[in-house]
A and B are shown apart, each in its own frame.
Chain A
């Protein structure tokens, strides 16, 4: 598992204690306008969701925590191996893999584990790329388009309002259609671009999954925040749903400071799609 002892080797604590709960159902505010929702943490029992750590990944632990919040097992995967360890789904986390050298996500997309991720994704494995993970998915050609430096030239960090426009993907089926959510966004190279033909295809086929509302934070074409492949198992987005999964640590809501947990539904979605398939 490499030499980075804190990151590899299955060191993440799993189970209810790791998720900060005591087995009781976790409750959050749910996607805005839909009222409180509760998570059945028993539903995730036995489901293994891998989170790949690359050199320079930053949000792997938050992604793993989100996985534990829904009662699934978070499996630490290492970029330098060819082993998906039998995971039922894989998350490519945010950060600055390989220092964003060459291009953001470019070198990571060529790493050993990505050849396995690409093969498995093409066979239907649910894969979620968040921020740097989204950049990797475009570099790996699992998703079309590319991400370029923000049009205003600055890194941006804000709580971002989004519309979930495709609620049939493996990662969004738990959202009500056209749900509006707020999750943190933080990127320097988040401007989504694609050829005019590709943009038209994404729009026509309903493959724009998340769209920025109110503010376009990075110059993305058509306010696109996240997209999916034609099969709906691979989803990439620049905002960070894994930072909005636990009351007390999410974005502010009208109800209370930092109580936003709108990101949780991405993770419960994949659970539903995995259980539906089983």
Chain B
């Protein structure tokens, strides 16, 4: 997400459009980015930590953006799952994801999601 203290002109433009639709109860919009990442190999804490490091170094520019969350995908492959939120420290392998049949004999796919801001 764009850093809270910085102006987000894109969010401002969206908020203006919503207001023009009569949604006057919406007073502010901020627009960020989300990355869905698939990897080869085991879906473990090590790969999650690696992706979290990449989020800080490459996927986000911490001068202008904040990384909000790095976590395993939920059972449906989408959405936040608080029990597996990396930043909460409650990282676990998502067994429900494995049971969806995306694993191979030697590899399983892990989908990490990274929500962060945009330039």
Contact = CB atoms under 8 A, between A and B. Distances in A.
A193 interface: yes
Interface string B1-45: 010001111101100000000000000000000000000000000
B61 interface: yes
A132 B63 CA distance: 17
A148 B3 CA distance: 11
B58 interface: yes
Given A148-B2, A148-B119, A189-B119, A103 B61 contact: yes
Contacts of B8: 149
Given A110-B58, A193-B6, A149 B119 contact: yes
Contacts of A103: 61, 64, 118-119
A152 B12 CA distance: 9
Contacts of B64: 103, 146-148, 193
A146 B63 contact: yes
A219 B7 contact: yes
B48 interface: no
A193 B119 CA distance: 12
Given A102-B119, A148-B2, A219-B7, A153 B61 contact: no
Nearest to B62: A146
Interface residues of B, number: 15
Contacts, number: 47
Contacts of B9: 149-153
Interface residues of A, number: 24
Contacts of A159: none
Interface string B58-99: 110101100000000000000000000000000000000000
Contacts of A110: 58
B119 A153 contact: no
B115 to A, nearest CB: 15
B6 A148 contact: yes
Interface in A190-220: 191, 193-195, 219
A102 B63 contact: no
B7 to A, nearest CB: 5
Contacts of A145: 63
A244 interface: no
Contacts of A194: 63
Nearest to A196: B5
Contacts of B13: 153
Interface of A: 100, 102-104, 106, 110, 138-139, 144-153, 189, 191, 193-195, 219
The 8 A-B residue pairs with the shortest CB-CB distance in the complex, in nearest-first order: A103-B119, A153-B9, A146-B63, A146-B64, A149-B9, A153-B13, A148-B64, A151-B7
Given A147-B64, A151-B7, A194-B63, 16 more contacts: A103-B61, A103-B119, A106-B61, A138-B63, A146-B61, A146-B63, A147-B119, A148-B64, A149-B119, A150-B9, A151-B9, A153-B9, A153-B13, A189-B119, A193-B6, A193-B64
6 contacts: A102-B59, A104-B119, A110-B58, A146-B61, A149-B10, A193-B64
